[in-house]
Structure 1
Amino acid sequence: MSAFLRKTDDGRASVDLLVTGARCAGCISKIEREVSGLPGVESARLNLSTGRLAVGLANARVDPARIISALDRLGYSAAPFDPGAATAQRDREGRRLILALAVAGFGAMNAMMFSVPIWAGLFGQELGPATRAMMMWMSAAVGAPCAIFAGMTFFQSAWRSLRAGRANMDVPISVGVILTLAISFSETILNGRDAYFDAAVSLLFLLLIGRWLDHVLRAKARSAAGDLLALQAPTARVVDALGHERTVPLGDVRPGDILRVRPGDRIPVDGVLEAGEALIDNSLLTGESMPERVTPGGLCRAGAVNTAGLLTLRASARSEDSTLSAIARLVEAGAQSRSRYVRLADRAAALYVPVVHAAALATFAGGWALGLDPREALIRAVAVLIVTCPCALGLAVPAVQVVASARLFRRGVLVKSGAALERLAEIDHVVFDKTGVLTEGRPALVGASQTVIAMAAPLARASSHPMARAVARAAGEGPLARDVVEHAGLGVEGLIGGRRARLGRAAFVGAPTLRSGETELWFGFEGETKVRLQFSDIVRPDAAAAIKALEDRGITMEILSGDQVGAVSAVADAVGVAGWKAGMLPQEKSEAIDRLAAAGRKVLMVGDGLNDAAALARAHAAIAPGSALEASQNAADLVLTGDALMTIVEAIDVARAARRRALENFGFAALYNLVAAPAAMLGFVNPFVAALAMSGSSLVVTINALRVRGGR
């Protein structure tokens, strides 16, 4: 195991482990507390989505095998973390769940086929003893194997929990299923009245639906940091001492290496520009919509795009120390902190498990002590377990979240997890990015006549500059200029109708001014008057209305942007947001979110760029537009498929309505259990009636969940 340690320069070490079996915030707390308490361990952080446990060690002499042994005592298996193995393990878990779900569905339907004739006896259509016995044995032959196979997911989890001296939600489920099967076999052998094989397998079918949905939702949320690192170029072009260029893997680049980056390529690692002037597209890193001009000695950051000529850089950091990698680490840390959120169902489960166990045990022991034979006392205890089965509790939140998610989907909002809706319902402060969120995210030509646009269009169509592309969009399709030459950081020139023309900075075009703003281009034919083209990042039409609607709901707001002060100030004034900050780096945005959280605020972050990914992951809840970078969408909880910002307001309204419905469901589930459990304990409810009551309670919470469709 020592081979998997990573040593640092200060003598410390770290190791990453893949932990399986962790499912909730309680698991995270338990694992991190146990591992952090081991001698030589300085820190332990578990990412629930990926299963990755990052352990910091005081020195390299600490044996990681002791950590694995401690996790095994807790009931969790662990192995050295390998991304490929982690993906394969998740795929195996998904296949196992879907197979168990299919088997449970098959067993429920077919066991029911033999149970229905037995139930018919309740309506005066009694079967003969031989036929009744045959039906019970056929139900056992189908239902019992299916229940055992489908229940292994819960049985194994319950066993791991009990081995660690704790009881999770799977313990009463497993006990209830096993005792139901045992009672059913006993009744079948002794020619009793009822058998409940169909109830056991139907229960597992309902519970596996929830377990499968949980698995799918986690799969959607686990890839944000990986998507960020995928933006790094896999290779880099290194120039040796003789001036020869060779391509090497990104991991082989060392500080001091000379690199070449061709136009249109991403910069592989952080580096200093050696010569010339570069035009760098940092929009994914900083959110600034206009390209940045970098002079010799200036820093070019990994993940940015070279939009002009061939660049020569001196690497200043390794790939794992680059700006992009730092953002990825921030995103993963945010995902770890967010996974500690305790969902409503987890809080209810903490009370449910000990109460149900105590009630069932008291029923069996009390009935036996009061003169009931062990068989009758056990049937009553099983009835208590069935009638209080956590189906209604388990469906109380998921049913609401499914309905709420479906409603939001029809309104253009994709919800990636149930916990996201719970967190969204709690927010009291919204942080907006500017570019691509409050604005359309790309420069738009303003105030130019169609005549000027038509003249400049042939050159604009030949350029990759964002503002030139805006001119080309405004002009539509048409001819290209001939003999086009693009000058890095200056502009583009070529022949239009046989006349030489230029499009770019004022000095390059020959305009009678030495000032050239970052939101303008100049165009002109050689020897003729020059024309200025101005650009603006257009504010979304409903931005001001959305801000006003959020204020009406008692929510405060601010803008955190990587763009320039003037651009941020103008947008803030246009939409009516008083608080704003400009020129913010990704880590600064993340730290601002942390400060708000430390002050007790529940923050919703709305952002679209790579510079927003860490803040999205750190926020209490996060929303990204559909046009956002994939890594930002994965770091967010909800994704907007349209351009309307008012859908954010609707998402908050629906989330708050869903929370109310979920709390109502919990209230009903508690009331139902307060009535049904004593009835079962007193013998008024047998396991068959208990199964019907359990199904009825599930139906009630599902019907109540549908009320989310009706609005706020």
Structure 2
Amino acid sequence: MTTSELNLSIPGITCSACAGRVERALTALPGVRDISVNPVTKRAHLSVAGASLPDIDAALRDAGYPAEWVTTKIQIEGMSCASCAGRIERGLTARPEVTDVKVNLVSNSATIRHPPDLSPQALADAVTALGYPARPAADTPARDRSDPHRDEAQALKRRFLIALALTLPVFLTEMGGHLFPVLHHWLYGTIGQQPLWLMQMVLTALVMAGPGRQFFTTGIPALLRGAPEMNSLVALGAGAAFLYSATVTLMPSLVPASSRFVYFEAAAVIVTLILMGRWLEARAKGQAGQAIRALIELAPDSATLLRDGEAVTVPVADLRPGDLLRLAPGERVAVDGIITEGSGSVDEAMLTGEPIPASKTVGDAVTGGTVNGSSALTYRVTATGADTTLSRIVQMVEEAQAGKLPVQALVDRVTRVFVPVVIGLALLTFALWMIFGPDLAHAVVAAVAVLIIACPCAMGLAVPVSIMVGTGRGAQLGILFRRGDGLQRLAEAQRIAFDKTGTLTLGRPELTSLWTDGMAEDQILRLTAAAEAQSEHPLANAILTAAADRGLDLPPASQVEAKPGRGLSAVVEGHDLLIGNAAALSEAGITLAPDLPDAQGVTPVHVALDGQHRATLALSDPIRPEAAATVAALHDLGLQVVMLSGDVQATAESVGQQIGIDQVQGGLLPDDKLKAVQEMGEGSVFVGDGINDAPALAAADTGIAIGTGTDIAIESADVVLMSGDPSAVPQAIRLSRAVMRNIRQNLFWAFAYNTALIPVAMGVLVPFGGPQLSPMLAAGAMALSSVFVVGNALRLRRAA
């Protein structure tokens, strides 16, 4: 067994004790030896013989010391089918330094996770050695990326047209003579059979050596390596037809008189039709990625920089955070920033899917790629390059498109053995026709038809092309799938839980009433607001706004201590304040006043001063206008809707009743929400926006984050709604179901096509008076099968 040396960077090592724990975790793995862990360099050196890198990765994570990995993307040429993608994936996975590989047939790329000391060029060289020229993907700004499918389609179009021009004379002189006997007699009487065959042989050889060269330069080496793929089938089929015909033409004595027929037109037409299919397929693949390219192209090339009071036009690539930019009416925002002067509206449809422009004023954020309205604005740059929202969206969608759905595992297992099985069936067909058929010619035709009719391309494209179009469509609608498998899980949703504040409500609570006991309203509000000034809770903002509206001056607060899920305590002007819910006061041994007003539909915030309950503030958070329609739409989709809220049960139930929620749970801490989501079981979905929602978002089968929420919530989610509008939730579910339905259609077509037509090509209908399939018809059917799959996926551009 081969032994490999591996060096891993483990940032979590801080001392020799850490190094010892890492060493013990690695020692426990079979196939790992000669382990050396250096606590100074934070690196581990080990010899690997039999252990896999994913096992090593898992062992380190379980020990609490995950290794440092980097992700490299490489562009690959020459992939034509699922067999190609599978061979590359297996070849890279076999390398001991690689922990994860995702090969995308649609984008002609591979995403590889590996240690930092393995260079991207080494990975590209490894793929090139497998017979597929590769190079590290250029780390260029998003808008500078070219469309590989457009270039591929143009090259394939040229090759197809050249092949067509060379094939037409071969096809017309051979098949025209069969269709029109007069033409046949004229050609053979004027030119002669042997010159005609020689002309057909030369033109067919030019087709195969010129535009069809790739089938042979890629397919034959793959066959010799024992890893045949789609190009191998074409090379074998077209090559067999050509060699047989050339033998009949040049050395007829080697072939029985009854089998002296030529099939140059079949070899030429096979190559030409498959080139046509690949051209159409490349065009369709390009359309599949249109949505994400449209986003990339939104960023302008230049911006107006204010430098020493002068307006200067500079390339966007030269901008840096802190630069001050002027934005003219109707101009696109160059990069992310904060408005410093002016107010107006900005069209953010590209970001959120919302058609109504958003109002902006000083202090508000603007996003690169959005369109300014009719007012001139000035803004300060906060992010450039890969750090902008637009770039992160593009990266997020590309990562989702590179992912694999669980359903892809079945396809991978089939395509791994598909081409070798087809070659075996072609040999069996040849043998059976030689035994039971009329002559050698019929045996060759049947075997060639079997090789050509088989199409692993359609199988390989069935899943990734639907993911690409579906995630691109989602980006247009402001629905970002952060992980490809999130599409499948969301489509299988059964129960969906919402956080309340900021998700089903506006997240901007307002003070509606104030009850006090023995103190003036302004005095208690002044003290409470002073303590809440150091809190980031949404309810604190409502209290501070109410104090500001009354013009109250706030004294300084000290010893402010937040109590998650309860409230906070502080000292203000010598008084001990405890602000929070009933549980907070109860835990402090403070009894609520008996004559409190009814708290139905509001959130009560109790205030205790020096150990006595002195006030209760009634806060309410307006329900989003679209919340009720969202819940109704989810019911129409067959989902049960639950609301999980940290608010008191009475307030949560009041909101739930107004919008039609099936089940309401209030008074929940973050851990309670996590437990509630876990109890929902399979098919659970959670929608939230706050830091306290992150555990539940991560625990759900599918986590959906409101894009206007916190970064932590977004990072924990599988799907991000950029608009912050909950009505995008049923839209996301409809889109995911449409994608999965499209994938099932594609897989049915791909498998049914091969299951039905390979036996026909073998000749099972001939004993019953049916036809023997022509290799030319087989080539046309095979070429169109991939085009059909991609074309079906393109229907998703109008989904949801």
Aligned to 1:693: 781
Matched, 1:684 2:767: no
TM-score (norm 2): 0.50
The percent identity for this pair of structures is 25
Deviation sequence 1:428-482 (CA, Å, 0-9, x none) = 111323333223345445569xxx9xx99xx99x967556755888999x9x999
- Tell whether the 8 Å contact from 2:233 to 2:423 is kept in structure 1 after alignment: no
Q: Using the alignment, how far apart are the partners of 2:221 and 2:28 within structure 1?
A: 28
- Residues 1:155 and 1:433: Cα distance change in structure 2 (over 3 Å): farther
Aligned to 1:546: 630
Q: 1:437 aligns with which of 496, 503, 506?
A: 503
Per the alignment, residue 456 of structure 2 pairs with: 390
The 2-side partners of 1:621 and 1:591 are apart by 15
Check conservation: 2:284, 2:791, Cα contact below 8 A. no
Is residue 2:58 matched to residue 1:54?
yes
Separation in 2, partners of 1:644, 1:424: 18
Q: Work out the CA distance in 2 between the residues paired with 1:520 and 1:433.
A: 18
- 2:410 corresponds to which residue? 347
Asked if 2 retains the 8 angstrom alpha-carbon contact of 1:15 and 1:54, the reply is: no
Secondary structure, in 3 states, of the residue corresponding to 1:13?
helix
| Matching of residue 412 in structure 1 with residue 475 in structure 2 | no
The whole-number CA distance in structure 1 between the counterparts of 2:61 and 2:559 is 48
Tell me the CA shift for residue 688 of structure 1: 3.5
Tell me if structure 2 keeps the 8 A contact 1:431–1:557.
Answer: yes
SS in 2 for 1:541: coil
Task: Specify whether residues 202 and 560 from structure 1 end up closer, same or farther in structure 2 by C-alpha distance, changes over 3 A only.
Answer: farther
Please give the residue correspondences for 1:464-613 in structure 2 after superposition, counting only pairs within 5 Å: 466=536, 486-488=556-558, 508=572, 516-517=579-580, 535-561=619-645, 571-572=655-656, 574-575=658-659, 576-580=661-665, 582-585=667-670, 593-597=677-681, 601-613=682-694
Q: Distance in 2 between matches of 1:646 and 1:602?
A: 20
Q: Is the 8 A contact 2:422 2:454 kept in 1?
A: no
**d(CA) in 2 for partners of 1:115, 1:393:** 26
1:89-100 paired onto structure 2 within 5 Å: 94=137
CA–CA distance in 1 between the matches of 2:115 and 2:724? 35
Residue 111 of structure 1 corresponds to 159
**Aligned match of 2:392:** none
Structure 1 position 424, deviation (Å): 1.8
User: Equivalents in 1 of 2:150, 2:96: separation in Å?
Assistant: 26
What is the aligned counterpart of 1:673 among 754, 765, 768?
754
Query: What is the Cα deviation at residue 404 of structure 1?
Result: 4.4
Give the deviation of 1:112 after TM superposition: 0.7
> Which ranges in structure 1 are unaligned for 5 or more consecutive residues?
18-36, 47-51, 60-70, 218-334, 492-503, 524-529
1:190-212 CA distances to partner (integer Å, 9 max, x unpaired)? 68333344556667774899799
Partner of 1:626: 707
Does 1:13 find its partner at 2:70?
Answer: no
Question: Any idea what SS the aligned residue of 2:428 has?
Answer: helix
Q: Secondary structure of the equivalent of 2:723?
A: coil
C-alpha deviation, 1:681, in angstroms: 1.9
Matched with 1:272 is: none
8 Å contact 1:364–1:378 — kept in the other structure?
no
Contact 2:433 2:442 (C-alpha < 8 Å) held by counterparts: no
CA distance in 1, matches of 2:469, 2:508: 35
Distance change (3 Å), C-alpha of 1:619 and 1:117: same
1:648 match: 729
Change (3 A) 1:550 1:116: same
Q: Which runs of 5+ in 2 are unaligned?
A: 11-17, 30-47, 64-89, 100-112, 125-134, 140-144, 177-186, 188-195, 250-263, 293-398, 515-521, 562-567, 582-602, 608-613, 764-770
User: Superposed, which structure 2 residues align to 1:361-400 within 5 Å?
Assistant: 361-371=424-434, 377=443, 380-400=446-466
Q: Secondary structure at the match of 1:370?
A: helix
Q: Match of 1:663, SS?
A: helix
Residue 516 to residue 444, structure 1, CA distance change in 2 (3 Å) = same
Of 697-706 and 538-547, deviating more is 697-706
* 1:709–1:107 Cα change, 3 Å: closer
C-alpha displacement at 1:561, in angstroms? 5.0
The Cα shift of 1:186 comes to 4.3
In structure 2, the CA distance between the partners of 1:199 and 1:707, relative to structure 1 (3 Å rule), is: closer
SS at match of 1:430: strand
- Give the C-alpha shift of residue 615 in structure 1: 4.0
Question: 1:583/1:360 Cα in 2 relative to 1: closer, same or farther (>3 Å)?
Answer: same
Q: CA deviation at 1:531?
A: 12
Q: Which amino acid aligns with 2:486?
A: A
CA distance in 2, matches of 1:58, 1:594: 21
Q: Deviations over 1:104-127 (max 9, x none)?
A: 545422221211124434456989
Q: Which amino acid aligns with 2:460?
A: G
Q: What code does the residue aligned with 1:342 have?
A: P
* Within-5 A mapping of 1:252-263: none
Q: Structure 1's 360 and 684: CA in aligned 2 closer, same or farther, altered over 3 A?
A: farther
Q: 1:560 to 1:481 in 2, by over 3 A?
A: closer
Residue from 229, 236, 242 that aligns with 1:179: 236
Cα drift, residue 389 of structure 1: 0.6
Contact 2:419 2:456 in 1 (8 A): no
Q: 2:221 & 2:652 partners in 1: Cα distance?
A: 56
Counterpart residue identity of residue 659, structure 1 = M
Deviations 1:223-281 (A, max 9, x none): xxxxxxxxxxxxxxxxxxxxxxxxxxxxxxxxxxxxxxxxxxxxxxxxxxxxxxxxxxx
- For residues 621 and 79 of structure 1, the distance between their equivalents in structure 2, rounded to whole angstroms, comes to 28
Cα distance in 1 between the residues matched to 2:224 and 2:547: 69
Q: Could you tell me whether the CA contact under 8 Å between 2:277 and 2:786 is conserved in 1?
A: no
The residue that corresponds to 2:97 in the other structure is: 78
SS of the equivalent of 1:538 reads: coil
CA distance in 2, matches of 1:355, 1:395: 15
User: Deviations for 1:26-77, whole angstroms, at most 9, x for unmatched residues?
Assistant: xxxxxxxxxxx999x8x9857xxxxx94236999xxxxxxxxxxx9898344
CA distance in 2, matches of 1:384, 1:347: 23
What is the alpha-carbon distance in structure 1 between the residues aligned to residue 546 and residue 452 of structure 2? 67
Q: Does the 8 Å contact 1:572/1:580 carry over to 2?
A: no
- Highest relative contact order (Cα 8 Å, sep 6+), 1 or 2? 1
Bigger radius of gyration: 2
Q: Is the 8 A contact 1:107 1:142 kept in 2?
A: no
Deviation of 1:87 (Å): 9.3
What CA distance in whole angstroms lies between the structure 2 residues aligned with 1:567 and 1:16?
53
Inter-CA distance 417–119: structure 2 relative to 1 (3 Å threshold): farther
Distance in 1 of aligned mates of 2:577 and 2:693: 35
Question: Structure 2 vs 1, CA of residues 120 and 44 (structure 1 numbering), >3 Å: closer, same or farther?
Answer: closer
Q: Which amino acid aligns with 1:648?
A: V
Partner of residue 327, structure 1: none
Cα distance in structure 2, aligned partners of 1:212 and 1:44: 37
Note if 1:358 corresponds to 2:421.
yes
Residues 655-664 or 196-205, more deviating:
196-205
Distance in 2, matches of 1:383 and 1:673, equals 12
Partner of 2:685: helix, strand, or coil? strand
For the residues of structure 2 that align with 1:531 and 1:15, how far apart are their CA atoms? 62
8 Å CA contact 2:467–2:484 kept in 1: the answer is yes
Contact 1:393/1:666 (8 A) holds in 2 = yes
- Helix, strand or coil: the match of 1:414? strand
Whether the aligned pair in 2 keeps the contact of 1:430 and 1:605 (CA below 8 Å) is yes
Q: Matches of 2:760 and 2:245 in 1, distance apart? A: 25
